[in-house]
Chain A
Amino acid sequence: MTTSLPDPSKHEDTHALEGDNAIEAQETAGLSQGQIVWRRFIRHKGALSGLAVVLLIAILAYSSVGFGPIPGWWKFNHYNTNDVLNGGAPTWQLSNIFSLGEHPFGQDDIGRDNFARVMKGTQISIMVMLVMGAISLVVGVVIGSLAGYYRKRVDDVLMRLTDLFITLPVIVVGAVLGVLAGKYSSPLLLAICLGLILWPGLARLVRGDFLSLREREFVDSARVAGASDFRIIFKHMLPNAMGVIIVNTTLLMSQAIVLETALSFLGFGVSAPDVSLGQLINEYQSSFSTRPWLFWWPGLFIIVIALCVNFIGDGLRDAFDPRQKRIPSKKEMLKAQIRTPERTEEEAAAAVTTGAGATGMPFAEGTPAQGPDRPGPAGTVNTHDDPGDTGDDHDGKPRH
């Protein structure tokens, strides 16, 4: 295939399949790495809508009931009791979706507004999720990069430390730490404690990346130029490991929110009077048959948030992994096929010089598009595709 590529960022694409490359190559011409990643990310519809939904939920949660001293626009708060109207049933009904009514998500048995409680719970759960993610990020990156950079003794010690943390199920250590943090009944402390146990997976991945990065020429040249270890690690190597770090932190955050809610459900996490989504379910699980809405709403928010974060992580992984090829759908292939003959001479000439022309050829010659979804021997469409989505990264387990 093509060998003279002016843009090194496209290097990986030369091995790619025909149809994909045609679309891909035009999109990466003359862009920085960050722009490429961003473009790939916003093309991932699931990730983009996940991001939008999470942002919407966060804005709704923080603006409606307010946080700290700032009041929100919602008229109730999560602790005051009001008169129980109509048995506390939700006033927001499917039949009349535009009228929120007095208590859209209903009320509990003593008349507290469920919407305010769910919003407050969402706030705390999101806060715990972010803090846990941030702490695991810092600890995991520091430990992983030190172990991978210095190897030998440091690596041994740090990796044995990591082994200690993965011996027990996360939820068990989390429960003990939760009880410890519960003494001070502060969700922030809980988040910090839980953040301190979720990092091992990330640390292992970062270590693996650093072990291979430190053998690269740019690290040698930095060392020859007299850069300190600190500078080499943080200025030269870390930016190169950014993809792994960002993707896994995102996926770790979806784990974090499920862990926090599970612990709160068991009574070892956030406890009353503080509310979190898991704590709400714990508090209301016995009233499922009488007041199901108290149970449905917090659960729905947990699922939606975790699902969206998972999708964002998936999109980020696709965006960061240069080997990851997106297989265009049949429709897109057809479109590309129709578009190709319409290209002007000028464009076609330009495409040849950038290498896109060679890959665009099959379309120009009218070769019928292979069904992209057929993994048969003739469907060379995905034979070069690297299965970047092996699912390994989900649990922070090592990649193959």
Chain B
Amino acid sequence: MIKYLIRRFLSAALVMLVVTFLMYVLIDLAIDPLEDLRTSTSPNAAQLMENRIRNLQLDVPSPIRYFWWLTGVGGCLIGQCDLGSSWLTGQAVTSMLQGAILNSVKLVFVATFVSIILGVTVGLVSAIRQYTGFDYAITFITFLLYSLPVFWVAVLLKQYGAIEFNNFLRDPEVNWLALVVISLIAGAFWMGAMGGSGRRRYINLAAGTIVTFALLAFLFGSNWLLQPGIGLIGVTVTSLAAAVLVTHLSTGLHNKRAFYAALTTAVLGGVFYYAMQWFFYFVPANWFIILGLFVVAILVGVGVGFAFGGPDKGASARTAAIVAIIASLLVFVDRNMQVWSNYSNLAQIRGRPIATIGASSPGLQGDFWIQTVDSFTHLLLPSIALVLISFATYTRYSRGSMLEVMNQDYIRTARAKGLTERTVIMRHALRNALLPLASIVPVDIITLIGGAVLTETIFGWAGMGRMFVDSLGKADIDPVMAYILITGILAVVANIVADFVYAILDPRIRVNA
């Protein structure tokens, strides 16, 4: 195995050398750092041009300059990175990268996470409801998303998701007709997703529409958007609902031990909610504390599951842990919502919380919660734009692989021996259907990094993609090469990880060294 990895990494390094070399020569051919001077009317243009040629050593052939650049990159191996510097600003590329990498990673990570969860869920449901109206509608929507130019959607998002929405917050006037239409669409979605036939479909449609409408009417009609919050009751009730749903999906409600474990965890979530209010009052939060609390919550869930015991402790523990995750997320979201109106009234925000530009509000002072809300409002629109790119991919893939699995003999066997449809789908089909995703996620991350070039440019997000676009437009080769180097390394590593993870998950695949 180690031999295999070493061989893969060596060949990857070779690929990177060739790619960077080719790109260096290509970029050098493409850009023209002297462009402004060629059209310049200044009397000493020739002199300036000569100076610049000397400074940038443009008289040296580009392959030789590539090896100079490579020497600097090689320094990274011994801890002395020199990726060159931008000749326009004189800033070292390594310092330009520091904030940019973090911003890009944040954006791509959030988008990947959201699109996997949404895309896979929708794809699986669509596969289970194959050849129904729901399936056709989802197929059409994925085709539409494949065809949507992301930059076009991003401009629309800026206009309607940020500018108009902020206007709405300032002067809330609810368009009831729109709410009714949205509720009807949501109701149709639930009807399609829940399946069934005849009367049940209409009941689902009506219930979905009414619940969505009530929720929307509450959110928009009351002052909720200005002073959002979930509250003790909201957290408990939502956790209980999540407990019922999660148990239903994972073990079935007939498994009383798992069900009670999940319900207990949900109630504990309410208790924790109360405790956390005091905790956060006295302890200034940071990400380590939050992550620690998150782990504690999961452990509590697992503990409750084990405490209920029974022959399949594992299933109960798993169910309770999932409920614990949901409950703790609710508590976290609620705590953020509590500072929302403070945040919204800050001098930098002036009641227009959804941002269209940048990765954070400049000069924002505030505690951890204010900062978190600030990143959220800035992340929201660019992530939606990115999610639109990869949501369709995940939906199609998970639908396809689920259909393939559902036609396997072992699924028929599972049904033949009388297992419930839930067990067949959740235990036998789902796990096998998710397997191929292990090899798709890394590839999709590359696509998202590419998509981030567009999104970052439109939303003025100071990430690597924007650095690439700006520098390429200004004939600044070193930052462009840094971007290509990092993206290339990410891609190569992602592919190795994909193969590796797949080999670990699928016992049919052997890695032969």
A172: Cβ under 8 A from any B Cβ = yes
A288-B472 contact in complex given A176-B23, A391-B396, C-beta closer than 8 Å? no
B319: Cβ under 8 A from any A Cβ = no
A208: Cβ under 8 A from any B Cβ = no
CB distance from B151 to the nearest CB of A (A): 5
B491: Cβ under 8 A from any A Cβ = yes
Query: Are A289 and B159 neighbours in the complex by a CB distance under 8 Å?
Result: yes
Query: Are A387 and B155 neighbours in the complex by a CB distance under 8 Å?
Result: no
Query: Are A167 and B453 neighbours in the complex by a CB distance under 8 Å?
Result: no
- State A110–B484 Cα separation when bound (angstroms): 40
A168-B23 contact in complex given A258-B147, A262-B149, A372-B131, C-beta closer than 8 Å? yes
- State A282–B19 Cα separation when bound (angstroms): 30
Q: Name B405's closest neighbour in chain A (CB-CB).
A: A387
Q: State which of A175, A281, A383 has its C-beta within 8 Å of the C-beta of B152.
A: A281
Query: Are A382 and B130 neighbours in the complex by a CB distance under 8 Å?
Result: yes
A390-B400 contact in complex given A167-B491, A377-B416, A385-B407, C-beta closer than 8 Å? yes
| Number of residues of chain B lying within 8 A (CB) of chain A | 68
A386: Cβ under 8 A from any B Cβ = yes
Residue interface mask B453-475, A partner, CB < 8 A = 1: 11001000000000011001100
Across-interface contacts of B132 in A (CB, < 8 A): 373
Residue interface mask B144-165, A partner, CB < 8 A = 1: 1011111110010001000100
Residue interface mask B236-276, A partner, CB < 8 A = 1: 00000000000000000000000000000000000000000
CB distance from B324 to the nearest CB of A (A): 33
Q: State which of A175, A373, A389, A395 has its C-beta within 8 Å of the C-beta of B469.
A: A175
B347: Cβ under 8 A from any A Cβ = no
Query: Are A262 and B143 neighbours in the complex by a CB distance under 8 Å?
Result: no
Across-interface contacts of B18 in A (CB, < 8 A): 164
- State A261–B491 Cα separation when bound (angstroms): 24
Query: Are B130 and A303 neighbours in the complex by a CB distance under 8 Å?
Result: no
B487: Cβ under 8 A from any A Cβ = yes
Which of A225-233, A236-244, A307-315 sits within the interface? Answer: A307-315
Q: Name B27's closest neighbour in chain A (CB-CB).
A: A176
Interface residues in A356-400 (C-beta closer than 8 Å to B): 371-373, 375-377, 382-387, 389-392, 394-395, 397, 400
- State A391–B149 Cα separation when bound (angstroms): 20
A111: Cβ under 8 A from any B Cβ = no
Query: Are B152 and A254 neighbours in the complex by a CB distance under 8 Å?
Result: no
- State A175–B18 Cα separation when bound (angstroms): 19
Interface residues in B386-413 (C-beta closer than 8 Å to A): 393, 395-397, 399-401, 403-404, 406-407, 412
Across-interface contacts of B143 in A (CB, < 8 A): 307, 310-311, 314
Which of A59-67, A70-78, A114-122, A265-273 sits within the interface? Answer: A265-273
| Number of residues of chain A lying within 8 A (CB) of chain B | 63
Query: Are B149 and A261 neighbours in the complex by a CB distance under 8 Å?
Result: yes
Across-interface contacts of A373 in B (CB, < 8 A): 129-132
Query: Are B453 and A375 neighbours in the complex by a CB distance under 8 Å?
Result: no
Across-interface contacts of B440 in A (CB, < 8 A): 397
Which of B365-373, B441-449, B502-510 sits within the interface? Answer: B441-449
A310-B155 contact in complex given A176-B23, A386-B407, C-beta closer than 8 Å? no
CB distance from A163 to the nearest CB of B (A): 6
Residue interface mask B65-95, A partner, CB < 8 A = 1: 0000000000000000000000000000000
Across-interface contacts of A179 in B (CB, < 8 A): 30-31, 472
Query: Are B397 and A168 neighbours in the complex by a CB distance under 8 Å?
Result: no
CB distance from A96 to the nearest CB of B (A): 24
Query: Are A258 and B149 neighbours in the complex by a CB distance under 8 Å?
Result: yes
Query: Are B149 and A281 neighbours in the complex by a CB distance under 8 Å?
Result: yes
A387-B400 contact in complex given A171-B450, A180-B29, A376-B421, C-beta closer than 8 Å? yes
A265-B469 contact in complex given A176-B26, A289-B159, C-beta closer than 8 Å? no
- State A83–B473 Cα separation when bound (angstroms): 34
Residue interface mask B119-135, A partner, CB < 8 A = 1: 00000000011111000
Interface residues in A179-216 (C-beta closer than 8 Å to B): 179-180, 183
Across-interface contacts of B407 in A (CB, < 8 A): 382-387
Query: Are B453 and A383 neighbours in the complex by a CB distance under 8 Å?
Result: no
A85: Cβ under 8 A from any B Cβ = no
Q: State which of B23, B404, B454 has its C-beta within 8 Å of the C-beta of A387.
A: B404
The residue among A170, A391, A392 with the most chain B CB atoms within 10 A of its own CB is A391
Query: Are B30 and A183 neighbours in the complex by a CB distance under 8 Å?
Result: yes
A176-B146 contact in complex given A168-B488, A171-B450, A394-B396, C-beta closer than 8 Å? no
- State A164–B488 Cα separation when bound (angstroms): 10
A331: Cβ under 8 A from any B Cβ = no
A285-B144 contact in complex given A169-B450, A171-B454, A278-B149, C-beta closer than 8 Å? no
A299-B149 contact in complex given A164-B19, A169-B487, A176-B23, C-beta closer than 8 Å? yes
- State A194–B15 Cα separation when bound (angstroms): 21
Query: Are A285 and B155 neighbours in the complex by a CB distance under 8 Å?
Result: yes
Query: Are A168 and B400 neighbours in the complex by a CB distance under 8 Å?
Result: no
- State A177–B443 Cα separation when bound (angstroms): 22
Q: Name B136's closest neighbour in chain A (CB-CB).
A: A46
- State A163–B13 Cα separation when bound (angstroms): 12
Query: Are B146 and A327 neighbours in the complex by a CB distance under 8 Å?
Result: no
Across-interface contacts of A164 in B (CB, < 8 A): 15, 18-19, 22
A348: Cβ under 8 A from any B Cβ = no
Q: State which of A163, A303, A400 has its C-beta within 8 Å of the C-beta of B436.
A: A400
- State A327–B129 Cα separation when bound (angstroms): 13
CB distance from A308 to the nearest CB of B (A): 9
- State A387–B126 Cα separation when bound (angstroms): 13
Q: State which of B397, B472, B491 has its C-beta within 8 Å of the C-beta of A175.
A: B472
A167-B488 contact in complex given A175-B472, A375-B406, A394-B146, C-beta closer than 8 Å? yes
User: Can you list 26 A-B pairs, Cβ within 8 angstroms, ordered by A?
Assistant: A164-B22, A168-B487, A171-B450, A175-B453, A175-B472, A183-B30, A183-B32, A254-B146, A262-B150, A262-B454, A266-B453, A281-B149, A295-B155, A302-B149, A302-B152, A306-B146, A307-B143, A375-B130, A375-B406, A377-B412, A383-B407, A389-B400, A390-B404, A391-B399, A392-B400, A394-B393
**Which 10 pairs, one residue from A and one from B, show the smallest C-beta to C-beta distance?**
A169-B450, A391-B396, A390-B400, A306-B147, A387-B403, A180-B30, A179-B30, A299-B152, A377-B415, A307-B147
